[in-house]
């Protein structure tokens, strides 16, 4: 398998390699930006999740406190006739 090593062929091969490298660098930059954006979004969602969990716990606690002080229908004494 013999390769043509003339200056013009080597120049074409070098140009092709440089073009491929430039294309790959562009895609790496694009992917890096996408990963950074996903990381920021994930951090926002994790903060939102933590806030929602806290709010849910507060609502549960408020419900327990309300249930403890509010008489249930079965606890009420029926009226006398």
Taking only the tens place, the pLDDT of each residue in 5-22 is 898 999 999 999 999 999
Range of 42's domain? 8-68
Number of domains in the chain: 1
Rounded Cα distance, 72 and 5, in Å: 93
Question: Residue 80 pLDDT > 50, yes or no?
Answer: yes
Helix (H) or strand (E) holding 54: helix 7-69
CA angle 43, 47, 52 (to 5 degrees): 145
What the block records as the tokens of 2 is 């013999």
Q: What is the pLDDT of residues 32-59, one digit of tens each?
A: 999 999 999 999 999 999 999 999 999 9
Residue 51 lies in a domain: yes
Residue 59 lies in a domain: yes
Give how far Cα 6 sits from Cα of 9, 26, 50, Å: 5, 30, 65
Q: Give the residue from 2, 26, 78 showing the smallest Cα distance to 18.
A: 26
């Amino acid at each position: 398998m013999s390769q043509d090593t003339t200056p013009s062929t080597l120049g074409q091969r070098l140009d092709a390699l440089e073009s491929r490298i430039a294309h790959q660098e562009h895609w790496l930059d694009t992917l890096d930006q996408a990963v950074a954006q996903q990381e920021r979004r994930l951090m926002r969602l994790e903060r939102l999740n933590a806030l929602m969990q806290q709010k849910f716990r507060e609502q549960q606690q408020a419900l327990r406190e309300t249930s403890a002080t509010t008489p249930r229908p079965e606890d009420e004494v029926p009226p006398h006739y």
